[in-house]
Structure 1
Amino acid sequence: MSEPVSTLRPLKGIGLSALGYGLFSVQDATVKWLVAGYAVPQILFTRSLVIVVIALLIGGRRNIAALAQSRNKGALALRSFLILVAWLSYYNAARSLGLAQLTTLYYAAPIIVVILSVVLLKEVVSPARWLAVAAGFGGVALAADPHGAIDLVPACLALFAACCWGLSIILVRLINRSDTTTNQMIVINTLFAAACAPMLLWYWKTPDPFSLALMLILGVAGGLGQFFLYEGFRFAPASALAPIEYTGLVWACLYGYVIWGDIPRVTVFAGAALIVGSSLTLVLFERRRAAAALRPPAEHGSI
């Protein structure tokens, strides 16, 4: 007998978000490739335009009418601003911090998401979710192996980026109650493009065919990543999906090896194992929790 649809909802959300974070890792690897020769505003502008086109293709004309009737225009604008600030803060911090330090500080975001889900969304966070978050962050810290003195200002920028991203994730959950995923993509990326457009007067550099292809790949990966992540929040609570963000480190290590020949240290494999293990444990817990909720009262031990 097939499993009831309601049992599969949290698992579907986890699967969609994992796919989204995997695509975001493709995006990060592509950005790392492009920033060597192009300014961040130009990269972000091109990426945003491609994502708007993807959203229009997915949602069709009905998106425009639905967007005009949206009751969350303020929340959509705020989320756009938060993500833009997170991007700028993160990449400015990256100029001064080592990758290990930067990664560890930024991956405070899932912890922030869980805390905000309790404060703002009134979600009840189970011990298993707290454990998955803690274990995932431990895996990141182990894999990143941060050491040495940290510059205070760049470190604060990285943590500020994590806070902005965490709050933006909470807003996804709130906005999803009335707005479509594609509408969110259109608003956020249109505002991104508008914010970056004036800076192109100083930063524009005509891309060669290979770089242009990379920018298109960046937009496709970013657009589909956003779509799958936002859809994931329709099926599972924010606190359940927060630990899945840590899986991005596993993909980052893989792409680093395939593209740049970076050979991970033993601690990276150990940390990745901890991240994957915590995520799989969370999936198992959510599966059992959903199945238990569907059992008749007698099976729960009621008299």
Structure 2
Amino acid sequence: MATVTPPIQAPGKGILLYMTGIFCMATMDLLAKTLAQEVHVSQAIWARYAGQTVIVALWFLPNLRTVAKTRYPGMQFARSMSLLLGTSMFFTSLTFLGLAEATAIMDINPVFITLGAALFLGERFGPRRAFGVIAALIGALIIIRPGSEVFSPFAFLPMIAACGYATFILLTRKVGHDEDPRTSLLYAALLGAVVTSVIVPFFWVPPSPKAMLLMVAIGGFGALGQLFLIQAVRFAEASAIAPFSYVGLLIAAFWGAVVFGEFPDLATWIGGAIIVASGIYIWHRERVTA
């Protein structure tokens, strides 16, 4: 029987890694939205996984046989499919919603992560974490404003994506104690690449040189983002880092304004400020506890 290595508890480091990973993923979303204006969205999804697979395989080539060995084939498969579901739904939503709006709806995922961690991973769910998650949810609801035009049928796509992403984070936490993070990174890319490679030929549009460059960049940022996220949950509990998903909302608002001219309104800034404040509060409490 394999020996399970206890998780390293360094909440501050885990949160910093998580925020860096979120930045990479938010930038990848920007590139995907840009790419989807030229080709079918399935090509953006395929580029995310195929590009990451090539980069990871070349990176780990000297030790690829060792890296490919996993103790949890079933959970690695479930991780990859959960992430693929989340990516597919979110990339598709970007063709119908603004970058900030889709990200705001996606930011419901911290609630799913924290509750799932308490139910399935046995992590404690104290009043401070509950306060942070509830505050983050209130901030997201202020941005979404139920009943407004953001709540179109397409708004359910990032909600489904949030479920997929939360499941991915929880399963990553589960295998992260004694699984090589390189192995998790490889399988998250490889299985997604196999599935999308079967689907994408039916929707393929010949890409321009610009589109090809975007596809490569999507794979690169996806690989970096995944590596940081996998490392993050090795140092901090999933429910502790969950509220810091707000970083993606702020980055999305910035990219949306700069690249697409989508300027967030006052409600978006108020909701974002609440989410930021809740995350900083929990980070402070985690550092004090550690």
Q: Is the 1:97–1:151 Cα contact (8 Å) retained in structure 2? A: no
**How far off is 1:210 after superposition?**
1.5
Q: With structure 1 as the length reference, what TM-score do the two structures score?
A: 0.84
Q: Is the 2:86–2:161 Cα contact (8 Å) retained in structure 1? A: yes
Q: How does 1:62-141 map to 2 (within 5 A)?
A: 62-68=63-69, 70-92=70-92, 102-141=102-141
**Structure 1 gaps, min length 5:** 1-5, 291-303
Letter in 2 for 1:216: V
Letter in 2 for 1:129: R
Cα distance in 2 for residues equivalent to 1:213 and 1:93: 22
Letter in 2 for 1:51: Q
Q: Percent identity?
A: 28
Cα distance in 1 for residues equivalent to 2:92 and 2:67: 36
Match of 2:222 in 1: 222
Cα distance in 1 for residues equivalent to 2:148 and 2:264: 19
Change (3 A) 1:55 1:176: same
Count, aligned residues: 283
Match of 1:18 in 2: 19
Letter in 1 for 2:260: W
Match of 2:239 in 1: 239
Letter in 1 for 2:75: A
Letter in 2 for 1:231: Q
Cα distance in 1 for residues equivalent to 2:106 and 2:185: 23
Q: With structure 2 as the length reference, what TM-score do the two structures score?
A: 0.88
Q: Is the 1:140–1:249 Cα contact (8 Å) retained in structure 2? A: no
Match of 1:51 in 2: 52
Question: Could you list the per-position Cα deviations for residues 66-123 of structure 1 after superposition, in whole angstroms to 9, with x for gaps in the alignment?
Answer: 423x211110011111122223334455666677775454322110111110111100
Match of 1:274 in 2: 274
Match of 1:27 in 2: 28
Match of 2:42 in 1: 41
Letter in 1 for 2:72: N
Change (3 A) 1:220 1:66: closer
Q: Is the 1:101–1:147 Cα contact (8 Å) retained in structure 2? A: no
Cα distance in 2 for residues equivalent to 1:21 and 1:125: 23
**Structure 2 gaps, min length 5:** 1-6
Q: Is the 2:108–2:140 Cα contact (8 Å) retained in structure 1? A: no
Cα RMSD between the aligned structures? Answer: 2.5
Match of 1:144 in 2: 144
1:264 and 2:271 aligned:
no
Q: Is the 1:56–1:186 Cα contact (8 Å) retained in structure 2? A: yes
Cα distance in 2 for residues equivalent to 1:9 and 1:61: 30
Deviates most, 56-65 or 16-25: 56-65
